[in-house]
Amino acid sequence: MDTQILMQTSRAMVAHGKGLLAADESAGTCKKRFDSVKVECTEENRRVYREMLFTTPGLADYVSGVILFDETLRQSTKDGVNMGKYLEKIGILPGIKVDAGAQDMAMHPGEKVTEGLDKLAGRMQEYFKLGARFAKWRAVITIGEGIPTRACIEANAHALARYSAICQEASIVPIVEPEVLLDGTHSAERSEAVHEETLETLFHEMQQQGVSLEHVILKASMAVSGKDNPKQASVKEVAERTVRVLKRTVPAALPGVVFLSGGQTDENATAHLDAMNRMGGVPWPLTFSYSRALQAVALNTWRGSAGNVAAAQKAFLHRAHMNGLAAKGQWTPEVEKKAA
């Protein structure tokens, strides 16, 4: 465990006005997204699409790191440069998704636990050699009748803590992502309570496992209303509830907190992040680690056509720029329209 490398990486990940691009979709998730724009989900098409994103001129101004899928870390640009090495060359840190996905939890209908700890230490050593300097593990917490249970929260927190220790031993910064899903009819108040219990449990487990809190990044969801709840919390309410949860549960030692968009609209994800940064008074940088909220507009513009690449890159850079402003509390709907 090289604490110097861990410190440099974690600080660079949450550099002022920058955030992370989550481009770690599995082939299955990628297929769903490609199907929506009628593009065949082949290995080559995935490579071309991701190269288009990574080679966007000016991307390093707003993106500090990219979370990659295993396949992508081993692929190369059309010029034969390894994707991770290419990102490194333009000043963007390459990261890697390492979990094996959320599986149904035995004896707990409707709940999931994330797998992938077996042989993870060996994989981490290989990923470090391949250039990955941070990693990501996602857990899924569902709100519903009688759920989440303590068993589900504890099982996922324990796995996140063990994964974090394995990462740090390999000098790789762990991103811990306990996503509280927005599926359901629950209120923002219920979401806040579930977030609080989840994060409290997570950091307790991490201390039990000897994880260095100075070298771990939290990827958090926001305390939004369930998407099927007719009464949606305002941007201000979501920001207040989310920041309150973080202040109650997240140790000040953490280098930073990045947020997932979790199915929010592009502009909502930006507005919520901006509102939290305008509140101030927190010990960590608050920034983004978005997938759909950064990529959707680029994918819809590209649609598999080489002739659309420049327009897709422009649309993608616009979203990265808007979220870079939100990470500094400088985004407004007027700026959004003006810059479009």
DSSP 209: T
Cα–Cα distance measured from residue 130 to residue 120, given in angstroms and rounded to the nearest whole number: 15
Cα–Cα distance measured from residue 316 to residue 301, given in angstroms and rounded to the nearest whole number: 9
CB-neighbour burial class of residue 43 (10 A; exposed 0-12, middle 13-18, buried 19+): exposed
Token digits of residue 288: 């983004």
For the beta carbon of residue 28, count every other beta carbon within 10 angstroms.
9
Catalytically annotated residue among 177, 192, 197, 240? 177
Pairing mode, strands 134-141 and 173-180: parallel
* Inter-residue contact 64 to 14 (CB < 8 Å): yes
At position 270, the amino acid (one-letter code) is T
E strand spans, 198-276: 217-220, 256-259
* Inter-residue contact 17 to 328 (CB < 8 Å): yes
Q: How far is CA 224 from CA 115, 160, 238, 329, in A?
A: 27, 23, 6, 19
Token digits of residue 110: 């409707």
Catalytic residue check, 177: yes
Cα–Cα distance measured from residue 23 to residue 108, given in angstroms and rounded to the nearest whole number: 31
Cα–Cα distance measured from residue 114 to residue 4, given in angstroms and rounded to the nearest whole number: 30
What is the three-class DSSP state of 211? coil
> Is there a cis peptide before residue 57, judged by omega within 30 degrees of 0?
no
Q: How far is CA 198 from the centre of its chain?
A: 17
Catalytically annotated residue among 25, 219, 240, 336? 219
Q: Give the residues across from 95 on adjacent strands.
A: 67, 134
Give me the active site residues, please: 177, 219
